[in-house]
Amino acid sequence: MAAAEVSNKGVILKQFVTGCPTEDDLELVTGVVRLAVPPGSASVMVKNLYVSCDPYMRNRMSEHNEASYIEQFVPGEVLVLYHPKQGGSIWAPDFKSGDLVWGMSGCEEYTLITDPESLFKINHPELPLSYYTGVLGMAGLTAYAGFFDVSKPKQGDYVFISSASGAVGQLVGQLAKITGCYVVGSAGSDEKVNILKTKFGFDDAFNYKKEEDLNAALKRCFPQGIDIYFENVGGAMLAAVLPNMRMNGRITVCGMISQYNLEQPNGAPNLFCLVAKRIRMEGFMVLDYFGTYNKFEEEIAGYLKEGKISVVEDVAEGIENVSTALIGLFSRHNIGKQLVTIAHE
């Protein structure tokens, strides 16, 4: 019997973006896909269940004259993102029809995956599948690897996390508490600050938009200084953090969302603090830690089942709302992990 042809809605980038992206930079298009893979090919046809909206996607919307750490989106083609999906027509030996997986695929209803070795099997389907866009997916692994491998925390460390209510920040803070650290986060609304303290167990938090002096806010929260700064913002926040770091402190650079929409990024004052205080400032890429995924998944799934980790998600419904959800992320309208439900099982 011939494989069925079905409608396949997807989201494309219309043109490269400079400055702040808008919904007009994206477009919902409808095509047709045959729900089959070429016989004998090691491919997987998947039904995408969720779309993960993440800050790193802003970098991929711009044209780069020099090579970046990840390929830019191609105008006129469907966006390629990380998210959970369900296998349909499969020829790959390690998968069978109906398997639940997550990994890179198109921002569309169905995608033919030609490199199924890049997919991760979902080993805990008893947990919400949406968690594999965040706490059990790329964002979660980013938090886990960045905190434990790069920050190298010790019990009693003073930890500060910027953009702390996002998908990465909320997990870093909870892992820090489990480790026995004193944890403070910054966020962009009173509602987010309340969630950090009441839902995620942060020791303190502040709304950076209400602080006239970030340096003073950090001194108030950390009178003894900061051992670990988990950097998600950059700009003025990084400039304020540097003088408040303790001797031999560690700055783990995960992202700099305040800089993504700027044609000319801000400079970084106070960098001599790195020398004077013997601070180690290190960036990292989650791609380098995919080999540790199974260990990470088992540990975090255990914490979730024990109630030691909480999750807050900001969920939009329907592929037609991807553009609104994604653009809202860059203006920080989301509360928690931003994702879009594409299909229910």
**24 Ramachandran zone, left/alpha/beta (phi>0; psi -120 to 50):** alpha
Position 176, amino acid: A
Closest to 115 (Cα-Cα) out of 37, 14, 185: 37
Which one has a higher pLDDT value, 28 or 3? 28
- What are the tens digits of pLDDT across the range 289-300? 999 999 999 999
Amino acid 3: pLDDT? 66
**122 vs 85: CA distance, rounded Å:** 9
Half-sphere exposure of 213 (CA within 13 A, CB side): 5
Position 64, amino acid: H
Query: Predicted confidence band at 257 (pLDDT cuts at 50, 70, 90)?
Result: confident
Map out the domains of the chain with their CATH numbers: 5-133+312-341 (3.90.180.10), 139-287 (3.40.50.720)
Mean pLDDT of the chain: 92
- What are the tens digits of pLDDT across the range 9-23? 999 999 999 888 999
Residue 301 has pLDDT above 70, yes or no: yes
Q: What global pTM score does this model have?
A: 0.92
Q: Write out the E strands in the chain.
A: 5-13, 26-34, 44-48, 50-52, 80-90, 100-106, 110-113, 120-121, 158-161, 182-187, 204-207, 226-231, 245-253, 280-283, 313-317, 337-341
Which one has a higher pLDDT value, 34 or 333? 34
Q: What percent of the chain has pLDDT over 90?
A: 74
Percent of residues in the chain assigned helix, strand, coil, to nearest 5? 30, 30, 40
Q: Do residues 259 and 265 touch, judged by C-beta distance below 8 A?
A: yes
- What are the tens digits of pLDDT across the range 51-70? 999 988 998 998 888 877 88
**Which residue in the block uniquely carries the two structure tokens 């400055």?**
19
Q: Two tokens at 299?
A: 């540990």
Residue 333 has pLDDT above 90, yes or no: no
- What are the tens digits of pLDDT across the range 176-221? 999 999 999 999 999 999 999 999 999 999 999 999 999 999 999 9
Q: What percent of the chain has pLDDT over 70?
A: 97
Amino acid 2: pLDDT? 52
- Rounded mean pLDDT, 27-48: 88
Q: Which residues pair with 34 in a beta bridge?
A: 5
**316 vs 23: CA distance, rounded Å:** 15
- How far apart, in Å, do the first and last CA atoms of the chain sit? 24
- What are the tens digits of pLDDT across the range 268-294? 899 999 999 999 999 999 999 999 999
- What are the tens digits of pLDDT across the range 39-56? 777 888 899 999 999 988
Residue 93 has pLDDT above 90, yes or no: no
